[in-house]
Structure 1
């Protein structure tokens, strides 16, 4: 399997399910954040530690940690980019579409069963990881890169 662009029907189906299951509510106001109902056991980190990262070393490390964690927990993922092209791909792919860093839009990596993944919020400037296996796999190293989480869902 290679990286596949989601067709219109699958795109709508996946985004509709994401909106429903996570109560996705896009918004630029802090009163509308965090943008999803973060699942129990999730951890959310601020991305402000990346602001003083001229060579993108911290950003690259964060992305690598998250991608390694996702690959260790799942064989296939959706890479969702709100209101843009989204993808389905094997975690063994050499180059992944998108990044866990929300570069101007909401980005999410999700397993097909939605049990684990990440959600990047561009205006809150955060990344949330959810699913016990993923949180366990990445939390220590992401905390080392980004600092203590700003939220932990019980």
Structure 2
């Protein structure tokens, strides 16, 4: 990492990182529900709907979600570790999460919550991160360490997940033995 804790990815690196992400996660952008999820969600992943944020007029839950995800991502990289922040069709970054946010520091380059485009955070080895889907209005968090650090709190903010390891979670009420 250079002296600057947030750097824009140069064109060649931008292309390399996006190409690897697209291949590793089988990224297929699309606005149609028939194409969702837009990635092959990893085995160690949980996806939540962001619908709970719709009735959050003061943005308290949104702010809490962003804080929790950022803290989790930061805890998953060492003190000198970096993350990629990818914003589909826009500038992407490499940054040192331990050196951003807070007074006198640069801001995080993106929010983990999608704002019109896909918002992606990735560890350098691509094993840990988040994938915000703007049209499905969802966030997928992946990596065992990240999930261990944040899943309970994210569920408290957003409610139960919609998928685990890429498989839909059965939200139907369990049927009793006497049900016919």
- Quickly name the TM-score band, shorter chain normalised: over 0.9
Aligned residue among 133, 136, 152 for 1:124: 136
Deviation at 1:48, TM superposition (A): 0.3
Deviation at 1:41, TM superposition (A): 1.6
Match of 1:55 in 2: 58
Deviation at 1:103, TM superposition (A): 0.4
Match of 1:68 in 2: 71
Aligned residue among 5, 10, 19 for 1:7: 10
Equivalent residues in 2 for 1:1-154 (5 A)? 1=3, 2-74=5-77, 75-92=81-98, 93-94=100-101, 95-153=107-165
Secondary structure at 1:99's aligned position in 2? coil
Secondary structure at 2:136's aligned position in 1? coil
Secondary structure at 1:127's aligned position in 2? strand
Larger of the two Rg values belongs to structure: 2
Unmatched 5+ stretches in structure 2 = 102-106, 167-180
Query: 1-side partners of 2:36 and 2:148: how far apart?
Result: 24
Query: 1-side partners of 2:155 and 2:44: how far apart?
Result: 15
Question: Which of structure 1's runs of 4+ aligned residues deviate more than 3 A?
Answer: none
User: Normalization by structure 1: what TM-score?
Assistant: 0.98
Query: 2-side partners of 1:76 and 1:47: how far apart?
Result: 26
Secondary structure at 2:47's aligned position in 1? strand
How many residue pairs match? The answer is 154
Deviations 1:13-64 (A, max 9, x none): 0000000000000000000000000000200000000001111111000000
Secondary structure at 1:19's aligned position in 2? helix
Moved more, 90-99 or 16-25: 90-99
Query: 1-side partners of 2:44 and 2:8: how far apart?
Result: 30
Q: CA RMSD in A?
A: 0.9
